[in-house]
Amino acid sequence: MKVREDDVTVAGEIRTRVIRPVGDGAWPGLLLYTDIFQLTESTLRTARRFAASGFVVAVPEIYPHGELAGVALEFDDAGKAAGLAGAAATPTAMFDADRAAVLDHLAARDDVTSLFVTGFCIGGHLAFRAAFDPRVAATVCFYPTGLQNGALGADVADSLSRSADITGRLMVVFGSRDPHVPADARLQIVSALYAAGLDDVELHIYRGGEHAFMRDIGARHDPALTDLAINEAVSFFAGRS
């Protein structure tokens, strides 16, 4: 289906792109977290695919309060350094407060029914934390970084230790060749989830998938795995009906 896009400012500061199907009606709201490069066209192309599948997708900047506000970073060494610096300057509590604001915005919209969350890389970790909100019915984390050791922002995040706070459904997707989340880290994450009682989590490990395999720029992009991941996520959000 066709989509329309609007730029909104949430809570007076958080620049957010909202992408939704054209026409009247209501759809599930999907908070989509970017990687460290923020609102790049690459991520927005993925967001449009989700919107075209029947979601009101809200894509906020993850660094909306400092010098990176309004900046879409380049996929180069300078952009990577700036994105990592933005993460290092952001306390976990600030990430959490911004998440609550964007979910509040989605929940208040007349064209939104239920609430879902997804994200990539650091955004996968942020999506995991968003799942702590009891309003979130389902979450898909794509190659989330830092879950195993709390690496997220300016402090050590308590994300994995709070797994029991997740009440909605959870799906996690990794690439088998992701150096940021190697096999031992994946085992640590899954063990913690099971220990917290989340023994029905969907875990996908895509053979040959590298970190950021869904980013459609650069040598790591795998179009076939990207299509598989998006289709799996849409099916998961639909309840596997």
Q: Indicate whether 210 pLDDT > 90.
A: yes
Of the residues 125, 178, 204, 222, which is catalytic? 178
Of the residues 35, 121, 125, 222, which is catalytic? 121
pLDDT value, residue 240: 74
Can you tell me the distance from the alpha carbon of 234 to that of 81, in angstroms, rounded to the nearest whole number? 32
pLDDT value, residue 54: 98
pLDDT digits (tens, 9 = 90+) for 80-124: 999 999 999 999 999 999 999 999 999 999 999 999 999 999 999
Q: Indicate whether 237 pLDDT > 90.
A: yes
Q: What is the pTM of this model?
A: 0.97
Six-digit token string for 16: 């957010």
**CB-based contact 27:19 (threshold 8 Å):** no
Can you tell me the distance from the alpha carbon of 124 to that of 147, in angstroms, rounded to the nearest whole number? 9
| 221 is known as an active-site residue | no
Q: Which of 2, 46, 48 is nearest to 25 (CA)?
A: 2
The position carrying tokens 């922002």 is: 153
Quote the radius of gyration of the chain (alpha carbons, Å). 16
Angle at 32 between CA 28 and CA 34, to 5 degrees: 170
- Cβ-based neighbours of 105, under 8 Å, separated by 6 or more: 8, 10, 11, 16, 58
| 178 is known as an active-site residue | yes
What mean pLDDT is predicted for residues 166-181?
98
For residue 39, name the pLDDT band (cuts at 50, 70, 90).
very high
Q: Which of 115, 105, 114 is nearest to 15 (CA)?
A: 105
Of the residues 105, 141, 211, 222, which is catalytic? 211
